[in-house]
A and B are shown apart, each in its own frame.
Chain A
Amino acid sequence: MSLRKSLSVLAQDRSLFVPAALFAALIIGVLLLSPRLFTVNGLAGAILVATPLILTTLALTPIVMAGRGSVDLSVGPLLGFINVTLISWLVGNGITSPFAVIAWVVCLGAAYQLMQALIIIYVRIAPIIVTLASFLILSGLNLMVMSRPEGVAPDWMLSWGAGTSIFSPVLLLLVAAFAIWAIMRRTSFYSHLRMTGADERMAYTSGVQVDLIRIVAHVLGGVFVGLAALSYTALISSGDPTQGSTYTLQAVTALVLGGANLAGGRGGAVGSTLGAINMFLISYLLSTFSFGTVSGFVTQMAFGLILVGSLLVNVFLIRRQAAN
């Protein structure tokens, strides 16, 4: 995207201003404090580490855009679930073909999200409760499948996690996800999705199939969770039943940081990606300081404060003075 074009995107969409400004500030910060990031190895490593978060945030994006405050809290554990089942059920049973692995992660993610969407729509329970219950169920299941980190990723995947080349298959996953998003954006589904999230009653009375929109949004999110799980598996090269869950809070924070409205209707791949990259850069910058034993806590506190701060920014700076 040329500079002029990206500037015009920014001018059109006020919500992207804050994440873009933060991104610029963080890049300057990194340049000053740790320019090592901008070497081939640095960037390759960065892509490897940041991709699961970017993809998880992308997974949340259509689901949140569909409205009803449906922040999917279960994405983290779902990512973990796909990871542990991939390692222990597929690889553990000798199934390692790339086709089977990719089909498994994508279909499992999509199927699980489809089930959640059906419960939300037809049992008519607030999405947040469904995903809260999902979080609990999946966190439990993950530990039942695999009680502690173990196993190895398929051989062909091991080189993915080396982080020595910028144009690694992990980057390909990212590109694939963006391609899916770009195609989706060109269809009327995208505008239907935005309108459903912005005002579901308006969309419904205007003849939009809001239920179908919600289902597709969740399935799309599920596909992205699958891709995220794949990149996560490449990153850790094994199975881990608990670490996946931590992605929920990070992804929600990244989403809000990217200017999406958790109430629905506003959001997009550019914002979410910027938000996720910003999250990565913040933790990267924090790691350049030496906080000793408390560094984990500093990161935790920083994430919490960023979430609170960006929620407030979204509400008070971006929100227009509604006429009524």
Chain B
Amino acid sequence: MPKQVTVRLTEVAKSFGETRALKKCNFEACSGEVHAIVGENGSGKSTMAKIMSGVLNADAGEALILNERILTPLDAKRIGLATIFQEVLVADEASVLDNLYVGCDSFFSMRTSTEERAREAQALLDRLVGHPMDLKATVGDLPLSVKQWIVIARAILRRPKVLILDESSAALDLDATLRLHEEIDRLRATGSTVIIVTHRIAELVRIADRATVLRDGVTVGQLQKHEITEANLLALMTPADRRLSEAANTSGRASQGDRTIVLKASDMIAQRGGAPFNFTLEAGSIVGVAGLDGQGQDAFLRAVARILAPFGGDVHIRSEDGNEMAAVHSLLDAARLGIVYVSGDRKREGIFPQQSIFENLAIGIYRRNLGPCGVIRKSELRKTFAREVDRFRVKMGSSQNRITSLSGGNQQKILIGRAFANDPRVIILNDPARGVDLGTKRDLYRELRAFADRGGAVIYLSSEIEEFLGFADRVDVFHGGSVFRSLRAHEIEEEAILAAMFGQSKAEIVEFTTERKVH
């Protein structure tokens, strides 16, 4: 079967207000291939996927799928393009079968026999999920991983000529990811184009025929099958000058002498069904937390900050005078005892979009500046605001502008400034560098290290392994709901972290990757 170009993007650009998500994007994919789109968080991958699927329309340039322009998802359906979006979009109220065939009928047609559909869906879903599924079950009752499968099955049932997967394996474990890859192989064999959008390098090394790399909204290069290696990808994703050399020599600088334990979590069960584990945090240290999505690391961070109660175990923090350990029972306890939490999901759980820059920082410290009857003493606030803005070199106009007038990186600086303004003793950061530029990352690493040197302690979760290198003093890798491996200073290297993320030793993962490549 001769290969044809099925997807072609030329000079595509897209802006959201002040933010330029895509600047110049050229892309081409053929029938019968698996083409990966790779880039760091915030590089514009999802925007690109949405433009290809008709959800968004490009501001400039041209996007052609099977030689047609796609302006709405309806167009996409018509020509045979299916997209699995990053967010798991299902109707909780409806049955599995209804969810699978949503939008398959034309408007106002009589409904076609559902028996044939049910049989087809049953076969596919059983194969994907790995155990028999009840198609009449209500989707809202099912766990997230099954919902993810429903979304994937919905796309595959359309027999797409072009299939786009936008970070679609997020909720799947390793075993499930392999089943998904088998399905992708099957589609490729029938001549479909499969486009995988991901920031997880390990995944695409195994499956992709070609890869296009996106950096800051620009497509910077294309790799053929034999060129797809982690080194090559990383080199394209982050240019040399952006490698984290500055941060590299910061780790391990803190005195190795007497390190008092600031925070202790004992018998923690972060995730339902996870094994209990212990966690300690020493003064002056930066502990990295890694893991594949949904392995409990995120839940652990939230449990320590008491955003969510853990399924078991408790958290103690050394009291201010240093003599005893105080239990942390609630979010307010955590705040009072000097634990602050910074989320990387700025939009959802960080900023107040309609409020000013000043307000967004100050709201974190109003509680510390309350007079009688809850009246805020404003005198101190301005000084604190100026100090934090200065510390993080925030680029901004008037402090009364809305926070959304700032770039993503500067917004994040304000949120981290909000955390610092509380004079915390433990800072918990949940993937804070998501979608921020390198300058911000550098400032962040520098300030966190300075904070640790002053005797503070940091828990730092990242979805990008490179972040830990040369920065963290210890990396705890989560797998299956608890800490699978704890890597000390000299053990912190990419392969080792990656292996532990998959629940394997380093040797095993190397072998595994090569085997898949041969296949």
A residues at B contact (CB < 8 Å): 186-189, 191-192, 194-195, 198-199, 201-209, 212, 261, 265-266, 320-324
CB-defined contacts of B111 to chain A, threshold 8 Å: 186-188, 191
A187 touches B109 (CB 8 A): yes
CB-defined contacts of A188 to chain B, threshold 8 Å: 105-111
Q: Does B510 contact A (CB under 8 A)?
A: no
CB-defined contacts of B107 to chain A, threshold 8 Å: 188-189, 192, 209, 212
Q: Does B53 contact A (CB under 8 A)?
A: yes
CB A8 to nearest CB in B, in angstroms, measures 12
CB A28 to nearest CB in B, in angstroms, measures 31
Contacts A186-B111, A205-B55, A320-B140: A265 and B105 contacting too (C-beta < 8 A)?
Answer: no
20 contacts between A and B (CB under 8 A): A186-B110, A187-B111, A188-B106, A188-B107, A188-B109, A191-B98, A191-B105, A194-B91, A198-B94, A204-B73, A205-B73, A206-B154, A207-B78, A212-B107, A266-B93, A320-B138, A323-B140, A323-B141, A323-B143, A323-B147
B residues 42-77 with Cβ under 8 Å of A?
53, 55, 73-74, 76-77
> What is the bound-complex CA distance between A201 and B73, given in angstroms?
11
CB-defined contacts of A202 to chain B, threshold 8 Å: 89-91, 102
Q: Does B174 contact A (CB under 8 A)?
A: no
B105 touches A206 (CB 8 A): no
CB A260 to nearest CB in B, in angstroms, measures 11
**Which single residue of chain A is at the shortest CB-CB distance from B143?**
A323
**1/0 per position for B127-150, CB-CB distance to A under 8 A?**
000000000001011111001000
> What is the bound-complex CA distance between A291 and B77, given in angstroms?
62
> What is the bound-complex CA distance between A188 and B102, given in angstroms?
10
A205 touches B142 (CB 8 A): no
> What is the bound-complex CA distance between A186 and B114, given in angstroms?
12
A188-B105, A198-B92, A199-B90 given; 9 more Cβ-contact pairs under 8 Å: A187-B108, A188-B106, A191-B102, A192-B105, A195-B103, A205-B53, A206-B77, A207-B77, A266-B93
B residues at A contact (CB < 8 Å): 53, 55, 73-74, 76-78, 83, 85, 89-94, 98, 102-103, 105-111, 138, 140-144, 147, 154
A207 touches B108 (CB 8 A): no
B103 touches A207 (CB 8 A): yes
> What is the bound-complex CA distance between A187 and B108, given in angstroms?
5
CB A202 to nearest CB in B, in angstroms, measures 4
A261 touches B53 (CB 8 A): no
Task: Please pick, from B53, B76, B98, B106, the residue contacting A194 in the complex, using a CB distance under 8 A.
Answer: B98
Task: Please pick, from B78, B93, B110, the residue contacting A265 in the complex, using a CB distance under 8 A.
Answer: B93
> What is the bound-complex CA distance between A202 and B154, given in angstroms?
11
> What is the bound-complex CA distance between A206 and B147, given in angstroms?
15
A323 touches B103 (CB 8 A): no
**Which single residue of chain A is at the shortest CB-CB distance from B55?**
A205
**Which single residue of chain B is at the shortest CB-CB distance from A322?**
B140
> What is the bound-complex CA distance between A321 and B154, given in angstroms?
24
CB-defined contacts of B92 to chain A, threshold 8 Å: 198-199, 320, 322
CB-defined contacts of A323 to chain B, threshold 8 Å: 140-144, 147
CB B162 to nearest CB in A, in angstroms, measures 14
CB-defined contacts of A265 to chain B, threshold 8 Å: 91, 93-94
B73 touches A206 (CB 8 A): yes
A195 touches B98 (CB 8 A): yes
Contacts A187-B109, A189-B107: A205 and B98 contacting too (C-beta < 8 A)?
Answer: no
CB-defined contacts of B106 to chain A, threshold 8 Å: 188
**Which single residue of chain B is at the shortest CB-CB distance from A206?**
B103
> What is the bound-complex CA distance between A187 and B110, given in angstroms?
4
**Which single residue of chain B is at the shortest CB-CB distance from A199?**
B91
CB-defined contacts of A208 to chain B, threshold 8 Å: 74, 102-103
CB-defined contacts of B94 to chain A, threshold 8 Å: 194-195, 198, 265
CB B199 to nearest CB in A, in angstroms, measures 21
A203 touches B98 (CB 8 A): no
CB A320 to nearest CB in B, in angstroms, measures 5
CB A180 to nearest CB in B, in angstroms, measures 14
CB A19 to nearest CB in B, in angstroms, measures 17
Contacts A191-B111, A322-B140: A206 and B102 contacting too (C-beta < 8 A)?
Answer: yes
